[in-house]
Chains A and B, each alone.
Chain A
Amino acid sequence: MFGYYVSLAIRSLRGTPVLSALMVAAIAVGVGASMTVLTLNYMMSQNPLAHKDSVLYAVQLDSWDPNEAYQRSSNEMPVQLTYRDATALLRSDIPARQAAMHRYGFTVSSDDFELRPFSGEARITTRQFFALFDVPFLYGGTWDADADSSPVQQVVLSKATNEKLFGGENSVGRSIDLNGEPFTVVGVIDKWNPSPKIYDLNNGPFNEAEELYIPFGLHRKFEIYSWGNTNGWASGDSGEGYEGHLQGESVWIQYWVELQSAEQLENYRDFLTGYIREQKQQGRFQRPLKFALTRPSEWLVLNEVLSDDNRVLGWLSLAFLLVCVVNAVALMLAKFLRKAPEAGVRRALGASRQAVFVQHVIESGCIGVFGGLCGILLALVGLGTIRQLSFGYIDQVATMDWLMMLAAVGLAILASLLAGIYPAWRVSRTNPSLYLKTQ
């Protein structure tokens, strides 16, 4: 019977082309607009570390101004650490893995004269970064442990950078110049581009992953200042010069740990508590003792990756869809009631109320399928427009995967079924004898 109802539905839709087009358009526009926005929000809300969500933690310590809590995060703690605290935490052997890091930029040049020097986005980090975030290696591996604390000029390249510099071949052992100094390639990672860029959400959560990965022991040698956010509250506190910057209270290091068991977690909490107590004795950490270990999923929320604007658009688009559904209800009601005489005849010929109901619900479902397909096209146009308006910044998130396309059709069918249920019920309940006698 399903096939029969579908063929009846298509015949019926063709019978009133203008009304059908209006209904399909209402559903398509509603689905197109809401899928455009929901796709963006869905992609922005992805957790690229979902598979390690139960073991990874972002570390926050409240080292902020005794007079005033940190205002720029919802849990009133800086989202980054001071260099001093980061290096101290690195000495703990409790976490299974841990990584301190920040963004930086090097000029990249090589003896190859065909290559113009360029500015390479770099991540200054510690050796377990790759294992912690499951970064796959194409060639080689991470640097040695001593490179995290002493100046060792080694580098891990991204796949794209390796292609640019070495044509994609195994470049382990080769050398490139960063800021004019020779660095040895120790590894090349495979394509890796978490979106949102969860490990460092400071400079645009949808920026690309870095091109170069540099050991943490080079700060003093290159006098590295973070290219990310640096926030301070005590100016000129610990002396001048670069050493003063490293020992100061400015926060600019992101810190992640992997704690694989409840016991490890408990031990690490004790460790942090002990560390803050010890620092308090030295006159630091004058605020009430407070730290936080936050899982990736919560970290995304804490950092408001999905902005208020996105949320507003999300609600608006759902309200928009609702209007389109109400619109479709009204049109379908008109259409089905016009067809009530036919339903009456069918009842006389042996169709039960249920059969009439199902027939009309399927008709509304067909409108949903067409509306959904048109809606996908509209959503693709909408996303394309947004990509264009965004200068490529959100290219990664303004795309529809198969899941979202399926969701679009699903949403359209759901919307049209919702829109069709009342009109179908009405037409199935009308007394057939009303339409059989009178003309």
Chain B
Amino acid sequence: MLKMHNIRKSYRTDTIETHALRDFSLEVNEGEFVSVTGPSGSGKTTFLNIAGMLETPTGGEYLLDGDNVSHLNDRQRSRLRNEKIGFIFQGFNLIPDLNLFDNIDVPLRYRGFNSKERRRRIEKVLEQVGLSARAKHLPSQLSGGQQQRVAIARALAGEPRFLLADEPTGNLDSLMARQVMELLEFINEWGTTIVMVTHDPDLARRAHRNIQIVDGQVSDLQRAVAAAEAATA
């Protein structure tokens, strides 16, 4: 489903070269809910950006749905991202000038749906997240939890196979965080694969599987466990 093999990513400034990911390998299966944890600067976000094809790796192979996407051009990657991947961010990242309806409309526009289809989908996901009544509101008129639900609706509107979440509850109080988490679990049950980066060990434990990244690599301990599991299977 999602397979990374020996991915490397380094950033270069005038003087220093930083290695964000080193020989990073990982496989996520269809329908899984994977949480990713690790200390600040360990490479979690870089992993997510590469998984979402927002950045290209310096080296290694990345297979999405069995296709090698490492060598696609920007337009092809954007197309794949639009069709197969939904993003959720810590800061919600709703477009402040657009109301909820138009925010959810954004990925559907790039998908090229006609207006009837777009409307159908927007109304459907707004209902799923319980915000149908507020379609014409601007993001600034909503609470944080509501904003994040809109962001999730926007991510889901294109019916992606993958949902990539970067600290989706980081800016929310615990009640709202629980609501959002429940929503994500619900989505996962309906078949969407979720990869979630988080700091919160409680949330991480609720996933099917937890991956810990240390210094740009899946931590050795986990690799050992995975190897052992593979051996016994």
Which residues of A pack against B, CB within 8 Å?
A: 1, 4, 11-12, 15, 341-342, 344-355, 431-433, 436-437, 439
Choice from B45, B110, B158 contacting A351 with Cβ under 8 Å: B110
Q: Which residues does chain A contribute within 8 Å of B49, judged by CB atoms?
A: 433, 436
Give which listed residue, B52, B78, B91, contacts A439 with CB less than 8 A. B91
* Contacting residues, chain A, for B91 (C-beta < 8 A): 436-437, 439
> B90: CB under 8 A from chain A?
yes
Report whether A349 and B154 are in contact in the complex, using a CB–CB cutoff of 8 Å. yes
Chain B 83-106, CB within 8 Å of chain A: the 1/0 string? 101010111011111100000001
Q: Closest residue of chain B to A438, judged by CB?
A: B91
Bound form: Cα–Cα A344–B52 in Å: 13
Q: Which residue of A lies closest to B158 (CB)?
A: A350
A352-B78, A352-B79, A354-B75 known; A347 and B95 CB under 8 Å? no
A1–B110 Cα distance when bound, in Å, is 8
Interface size on B, residues (CB 8 A): 32
CA distance A242 to B106 in the complex (A): 88
Whether B109 pairs with A12 at a CB distance below 8 angstroms is no
A350 touches B54 (CB 8 A): no
In the bound assembly, the distance between CA atoms of A246 and B84 in angstroms comes to 95
A residues in contact with B95, CB < 8 Å: 342, 345-346
User: A12–B87 contact, CB under 8 A?
Assistant: no
Chain B residues positioned under 8 Å from A351 (CB to CB)? 78, 82, 106, 110
Q: Are A341 and B158 in contact (CB under 8 A)?
A: no
Is B111 a contact partner of A432 (Cβ separation < 8 A)?
no
Taking CB atoms, residues of chain A closer than 8 Å to B98 are 11
What total of A-B pairs shows CB separation below 8 Å? 79
Q: Is the CB of B89 within 8 A of A352?
A: no
Do residues A4 and B109 form an inter-chain contact, with CB atoms below 8 A? yes
Is residue B107 within 8 Å, beta carbon to beta carbon, of the partner chain?
A: yes
Contact B107 A350 (CB under 8 A): yes
Decide if B78 touches A350 in the complex (CB within 8 Å). Answer: yes
How distant is the Cα of A346 from the Cα of B98 in the complex, in angstroms? 12
A433 CA / B53 CA spacing, docked (Å):
10
Report how far A333 CA is from B188 CA in the complex, Å: 42
Residue of B nearest to A350 (CB): B82
Q: Would you list which residues of chain B between 46 and 100 have a CB under 8 Å from chain A?
A: 49, 52, 54-55, 74-75, 77-79, 81-83, 85, 87, 89-91, 93-98
Q: A1-B109, A342-B95, A348-B87 are in contact. Are A437 and B78 (CB under 8 A)?
A: no
A348-B54 in contact given A342-B95, A437-B89, A437-B166 (Cβ < 8 Å):
yes
Q: Which residue of A lies closest to B107 (CB)?
A: A349
Rounded to whole angstroms, the CA-CA distance of A352 and B95 in the bound complex is: 17
Contacts of B158 in A (CB 8 A): 350
A-B contact sample (16 more), CB < 8 A, given A347-B54, A431-B54, A436-B54: A342-B96, A342-B97, A346-B95, A346-B110, A347-B78, A348-B52, A349-B107, A349-B154, A350-B158, A351-B78, A351-B106, A352-B79, A354-B74, A355-B110, A433-B45, A437-B45
Q: Which 9 A-B pairs have the closest CB atoms?
A: A350-B82, A352-B78, A349-B107, A433-B49, A350-B110, A348-B87, A352-B75, A345-B93, A439-B91
Q: Which residues of A contact B106 (CB under 8 A)?
A: 345-346, 349, 351
CA distance A346 to B95 in the complex (A): 9
Which residues from chain A contact B110 at a C-beta distance below 8 Å? Answer: 346, 349-351, 355
Q: How far is the CB of B157 from chain A (nearest CB, A)?
A: 9
Report if A12-B74 is in contact (Cβ < 8 Å); known contacts: A349-B107, A350-B158, A433-B55: no
Interface residue ranges of B167-197 to A (CB < 8 Å): none
Query: Taking A349-B106, A350-B107, A350-B158 as contacts, is the C-beta distance between A431 and B45 under 8 angstroms?
Result: no
Asked if residues A437 and B90 are in contact (CB atoms below 8 Å), the reply is yes
Nearest chain-A residue to B98 (Cβ)?
Answer: A11
Q: How far is the CB of A174 from chain B (nearest CB, A)?
A: 72
A12 to B110, CA, bound (A): 18
Residues of A within 8 A of B107 (CB): 349-350
Chain A residue contacts of B93, Cβ below 8 A:
341, 344-345, 348, 436
B74 contacts which chain A residues (CB < 8 A)? 352-354
- B residues less than 8 Å from A349 (CB atoms): 81-82, 87, 106-107, 110, 154
Contacts of A344 in B (CB 8 A): 93
